[in-house]
Structure 1
């Protein structure tokens, strides 16, 4: 329902967008430092889209205005607008340059949808036409967006003969049982696909006004529409032809008799013969289809013969496809902010998917360290480092902000060491007091008496035995 409404409103909407675009050309400052990547994109209705808006120079206030997933004002150099289910072509990136000064850039989006049906409409009755009469044929393309990008091509028996939505057709007897079809073409390249959808076969049956055969006399064609007279006596050969067979008859015409020649078409239901048929389809490829084998298959289905339950499918030889696509950086392994300790190196590795294989380069607003293979650099300085992955079909960028983080480990280790020393000294002090009070004894001299020397004590004249009492 939405696609049909979009088709009806598109002409007015296109005019309005065009007027706004012209107005913006006169109002915008030519020095507006905005770059959109990609600059133009074609997206299928309901699919995802992602557009980067980059502002040159220093950090600025920037944002996205859109009916879907709009982004408010942020301080940044770039801002990505992403939508997973796109239903609008309206998206505008803006940058605030200063007080009451703003520059904008509108995204160039083409929202498209494949044709729902392609049918042939005719004023003939079930394909029956009279030779020489004029009929109109309309190629009805329903549900396609944008309609102004669609062109039509007509084929009769697989031979191109016209390029208009509605054609006028006057059949001849030689076109009896001819097959007519139309194709809807929509070219959105290089940003989008090339779409080609064909209608069903429209078979025509031509009814002749006169005899649908030729009379040959002495190898000369005779006008079979003119009556024969006695002056036309002789031998006549009548050739009749149908879809797959022909018949010949010999007639003798005298000065006395008039002969009326009539022809009949063969019964084609009795004819069985091999035919060549072709079918085509349109496939939108993406990166997941790279290296995939495609093939088609056919099964013979005859109404008068009951098909076997497990009839084999006749397959064609495989067609291996190579899909080229622009790079996409793996942001799950490379975050937007990376802390680094002062004096220590941190590895930044940029990985990207693309075909052909993308080339990885790094740039930075500080001194850039040497780049190693496979998109690896070791950084020790804070700053903004930009990874760019590029191949012949496009590029993708990712900015990593490296911030400096204070290493508290030496301080913590020193604090622990000092604490251990202090605790050890307190323990030694307490232990020394405890040892003196419990392990050592105090003695005082009380009532000293000089006694005789015994044999257990050696005397040298200086040592005196003094009796001591325990306190």
Structure 2
């Protein structure tokens, strides 16, 4: 096993482009800081040795096959490197690892303000997110109640935890009193990341102060109805009430009066708080058949006139009793006193904004009834614009739209509605009490996102004049303003790819829906930390892990892709091969291809089950070797000579020779035995062996 330091040195050796066919499973990792993950490293090619190195630690593993490792993440900057070496050359790939940490705390506050807000004024909310990583994957979402108002993303490139503070501008109105604002911090890391956002611990409850405003400025009541004159109006702080009338002998400060105890006539109620005053007039009338004592016995029809500026108007005044004269007093269209029972106030072109006509009658005394007149004028022009900005907007940033409404009256009946496409976004009303035309310039704060690119915003000015007004409320609409939203690139799908040799990286299956960004991102590629010309054809040596990068003027987005270059089988065969007899058959060719080719052997058109093929000397001859995969088929004809087993040959020869020797020895023994049975004798003289007597002294 190699030591870590020599390995790091060897990692500096660089092979030719595309010669590092390392594959990770999974291809990238999303892991929470302090937790562990597991990864498998393998290769698409042949290798002598694998290794995994967990940088800045002593964890190094080697094997000659694929490697599996489980790692505990306690350092933000470590990298996991898989390396392989073969024939004294080495290459490596780094595993893309995203380490995340959810925020310790999320809180919401109002910037530079304490206490109640004032309706119509602008305030800034701030969301503080503490100790979160990576901030590039963070989205802060703003809510009012359950309604999503806006969201903020971040372009800062930081792997380690940071604190972020994002703000939202709001302009609360009376309906927002008591509203709950909150923010959420969510890391968008896919299925392997956290699935639930971190919410602000406490919602911000908004207290909004606003002035009183009645839904209508006048109300007519028939005296027989047992109802109250109810001046109660919603306001914050709560208003105080004061009633005024010629028929009241003392000042009344309650919000209601009982109509059954009051004389016919006009009763004015002022509702006042620290922000302003709103007035409502109650008109009490008696029924026609009731005694007209202490009442003004005339009937107006209609009881309230709504007239377009420079338009015509006609109102009847009918006497309900015998009289000594009836007439109209007005700065325009006055009608002299007459004895008729019905007189008409008529003006062909009403141009006096503050006209106050009244019908009077003389009977036992003189009395009068005023006619409420509302003169309206639709705007000369309604236009929409972006305040202090031209050109494309940036997603996540806040912008202000302004609707300019010119020369409209009366403004207290005006509603400006804001639209995006056909969706009503908001509406603005006005508390100013003015009879003459004014210009108003309400604004709307927006924070567009990528989905708003190409959206159309517009505003509409509408006068709501009540039942006596036009059947269809008059309205004027601005032209539409089209916005262009620039947003950072994003690649929706990063899938492994298996192209055929000769295909370029430009052919990677990206479509308009998988790569997002505006301006349209430029696609580039990197392999082994080096830029790659995406128009060049891929070769069979170019398999490995690639980084695809989408870039525009805002930022870059990248992801890792495993590319396996596929190619048809290739066979490297010699014309003749010699194979030992009765040994397991080994293919006589070197086969290459991706996917790995399947090999088969044929002789005379018949398939040979080569896995169980033990050839003998009779199997010599011509064979066809076939390699095939999904990309193609190739074959090669070879001549195979089956060699006799020399050891067996010599054993047979030795056995034969041994037997020959044995038979020769046996023959000799048989012949000798036969000779002994026949006999063979030597005859000698008896005298030669006759015994002689011994003398006493020896020889003479």
TM over 0.5: no
Q: Per residue, is there more helix in 1 or in 2?
A: 1
Q: Which structure has the bigger radius of gyration?
A: 2
